[in-house]
């Protein structure tokens, strides 16, 4: 039904999912990727859950109409709000959703204090509560919502003074205190240098992108759907401007 050469579709509310795309491309450079960012509707993370769900299902419908063998939901917010529905609507498709890398934090830093930076939607959804309760006996977890950060990354200002000014008061209570911060939103890895400066060099920053890429490869391999090239990348964005595509390419290059 699916062919090896079909696309791996990668979806995010905007440019953040590029932090997952770059891990996928590092691990599987020979694959064909179709990246879609819904920047016209970003941010998702401060919307009602029902809206995030509808936007995610609408984006998935468009992507599924193309030839794709897997969908990577490279957005913690969309995963929290809609992964269950996506799997119900597309039971035959490989659907991988990113979620905050709390397990990695618990495995590496048992007994320590860790933070999870994510959008308000991700932090309030039941899916996150379930994840949290698996690890509350292992480490003590601080929820750190960071409203406003996604917007700055969408404007190409991930490493700017504005980002520093937004995050400084938010992270001040955690300076030199946490063993790790889980970057639970795919936009945040692009602001990692600023976050690192503010929390201190001894705090590990954990990104779920590499684990999501490995999980995608495992699933494709299990289904005999790995493609051997030539690789390809198509980037599309609902904002309809060349600017957002150029920003994705810039973030991808690092």
139 is catalytic: no
Question: Does residue 43 belong to the site contacting ligand DGL (CB under 6 A)?
Answer: yes
Stretch that binds ligand DGL, among 1-9, 12-20, 132-140, 199-207 (CB under 6 A): 12-20
Question: Does residue 44 belong to the site contacting ligand DGL (CB under 6 A)?
Answer: yes
Question: Does residue 190 belong to the site contacting ligand DGL (CB under 6 A)?
Answer: no
Q: Which of 9, 10, 24, 42 binds ligand DGL (CB under 6 A)?
A: 42
Question: Does residue 191 belong to the site contacting ligand DGL (CB under 6 A)?
Answer: no
Binders of ligand DGL among 131-150, rule CB under 6 A?
Answer: 150
# residues near ligand DGL by CB under 6 A: 17
68 is catalytic: no
Q: Which of 45, 145, 189, 209 binds ligand DGL (CB under 6 A)?
A: 45
Q: Rounded to the nearest whole angstrom, what is the least distance from the CB of residue 206 to ligand DGL in the complex? A: 14
Question: Does residue 53 belong to the site contacting ligand DGL (CB under 6 A)?
Answer: no
In the bound state, the residue with its beta carbon closest to ligand DGL is: 45
Nearer CB in complex with ligand DGL: 175/250 = 250
Distances (CA, A) of 157 to 37, 128, 187, 221, 231: 17, 28, 11, 37, 30
Question: Does residue 123 belong to the site contacting ligand DGL (CB under 6 A)?
Answer: no
CA 10, 15, 17, 23 dihedral sign is positive
3-state secondary structure the chain: CCCCCCEEEEEECCCCCHHHHHHHHHHCCCCEEEEEECHHHCCCCCCCHHHHHHHHHHHHHHHHCCCEEEEEECCHHHHHHHHHHHHHHCCCCEEEECCCCHHHHHHHCCCCEEEEEECHHHHHCHHHHHHHHHHCCCCEEEEEECCCHHHHHHCCCCCCHHHHHHHHHHHHHHCCCCCEEEECCCCHHHHHHHHHHHHCCCCEEEECHHHHHHHHHHHHHHCCCCCCCCCEEEEEECCCCHHHHHHHHHHHHC
Q: Which of 10, 13, 28, 72 binds ligand DGL (CB under 6 A)?
A: 13
Q: Which of 56, 77, 237, 238 binds ligand DGL (CB under 6 A)?
A: 77
Question: Does residue 12 belong to the site contacting ligand DGL (CB under 6 A)?
Answer: yes
Residues that bind ligand DGL (CB under 6 A): 12-14, 16, 42-45, 75-77, 119, 122, 150, 185-187
């Amino acid at each position: 039904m699916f062919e090896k050469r079909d696309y791996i579709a990668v979806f995010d509310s905007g440019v953040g999912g590029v932090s997952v795309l770059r891990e996928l491309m590092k691990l599987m450079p020979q694959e064909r990727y179709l990246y879609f960012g819904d920047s016209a509707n970003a941010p998702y993370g401060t919307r009602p859950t029902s809206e995030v769900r509808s936007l995610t299902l609408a984006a998935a419908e468009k992507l599924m109409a193309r030839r794709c063998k897997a969908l990577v939901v490279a957005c913690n917010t969309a995963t929290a709000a809609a992964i269950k529905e996506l799997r119900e609507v597309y039971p035959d498709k490989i659907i991988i959703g990113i979620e905050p890398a709390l397990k990695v934090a618990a495995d590496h830093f048992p007994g320590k204090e860790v933070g999870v930076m994510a959008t308000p939607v991700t932090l309030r959804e039941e899916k996150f509560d379930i994840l949290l309760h698996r690890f509350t006996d292992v480490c003590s977890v601080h929820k750190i919502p960071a409203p406003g950060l996604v917007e700055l990354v969408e404007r190409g200002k991930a490493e700017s003074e504005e980002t520093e000014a937004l995050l400084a008061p938010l992270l001040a209570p955690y300076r030199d205190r946490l063993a790790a911060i889980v970057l639970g939103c795919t936009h945040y890895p692009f602001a990692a240098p600023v976050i690192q400066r503010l929390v201190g060099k001894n705090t590990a920053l954990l990104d779920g992108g590499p684990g999501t890429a490995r999980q995608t490869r495992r699933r494709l391999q299990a289904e005999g759907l790995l493609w051997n090239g030539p690789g390809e990348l198509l980037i599309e964005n609902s904002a309809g401007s060349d600017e957002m595509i150029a920003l994705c390419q810039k973030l991808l290059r690092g």
